[in-house]
Amino acid sequence: MTEHKSGFVAIVGRPNVGKSTLLNRIVGQKIAIMSDKAQTTRNKIQGVYTTEDTQIVFIDTPGIHKPKSRLGDFMVETAYSALREVDVVLFMISADQKRGKGDDFIIERLKKSNVPVFLVVNKLDKVQPDQLLLTIEDYAKQMEFAEVVPISATEGNNFETLMQIIEDKLPEGPQYFPEDQITDHPEYFIVAELIREKILLLTRDEIPHSVAVVVDSMKRNDQDKVEIQATIIVERDSQKGIVIGKGGKMMKQIGTKARQDIEHLLGDKVFLELWVKVQKDWRDKQRYLTDYGYKE
């Protein structure tokens, strides 16, 4: 079995550079758009790109584009934390436009991110090669980019290349969404991924990336909190021990950190209950992939 990769990608850039056009191209492939329910989350999923061995989830990061008042800055910083939840950031610019304030604002934020940032130079069809090079040079002086990819979102130039180099940067991970079917609970996926991230972070490589998290239910309780039940699936008893920790200490830490992020994501108070289950070789069994498809 070849390794399956998956992860999250944010597209940022000032208005009219072609972000929506690129997303439409992505969605026009083997893709589905999220239901309206996705709009209720702060970081809404904009499209999912699925191939046999990869799944790329594109998310929107509202707030990064527009600085406002001083008070607003705080909101921007909060929204900006979404950029740390992704595996790759695509910073899109337009080849026929000069770098402006909007770009510099985004660059300042991207500099603080430790996620690989790709400079995606769109509208390649509108400029001569020498102008393209000048534009790239100018941006490359501002910060370091993991990749620079000139594309044309309307014509399709370098689209496949872009998808391929994103894939190269993604971690090993499961197919979160069915290939041609989309759940109407997209938050489940993000919530599960946030929990998974905390496990990997806090156990420091003691738990393999193949650890799965399934959100079993999500509903509002009497205290007006979003009550979430989730199961962490590991492959060995020893891993279960690590996840739980001495006297349940690790589990508590994972829960606290994950809850904070989920509250931020949903903009709601959250009550999070976590369980751990050992399921040997679950990844090899298609049945489990379907069972753990994060569906209700």
Q: How many angstroms separate the CA atoms of 140 and 190, rounded?
A: 32
**First vs last C-alpha separation in the chain:** 28
**7 binding K ion? (CB under 5 A):** yes
**15 binding ligand GDP? (CB under 6 A):** yes
Q: Which of residues 78-137 bind ligand GDP (CB under 6 A)?
A: 122-123, 125-126
With CB atoms as reference, the residue minimizing the distance to Mg ion is: 20
**47 binding K ion? (CB under 5 A):** no
What residue 173 binds from Mg ion, ligand GDP, K ion, none (CB within 5 to 8 A, per partner kind)?
K ion
Q: Which of residues 137-176 bind ligand GDP (CB under 6 A)?
A: 152-154
26 or 265: whose CB is closer to ligand GDP?
26
Contact flags string 144-173 toward K ion, x per CB under 5 A: ---------------------------x-x
| Token pair 């000139």: residue | 150
Strands (E), the chain: 5-12, 31-32, 45-50, 54-59, 88-94, 117-122, 147-150, 212-220, 226-234, 270-278
**20 binding Mg ion? (CB under 5 A):** yes
139 or 188: whose CB is closer to K ion?
188
Contact 284, 62 (CB under 8 A): no
What residue 153 binds from Mg ion, K ion, ligand GDP, none (CB within 5 to 8 A, per partner kind)?
ligand GDP
Contact 218, 185 (CB under 8 A): yes
Q: Report how many helices (DSSP H) and strands (DSSP E) the chain contains, helices first.
A: 9, 10
Query: Contact residues for ligand GDP (CB under 6 A)?
Result: 13, 15-21, 122-123, 125-126, 152-154
Interface residues with K ion (CB under 5 A)? 6-7, 171, 173
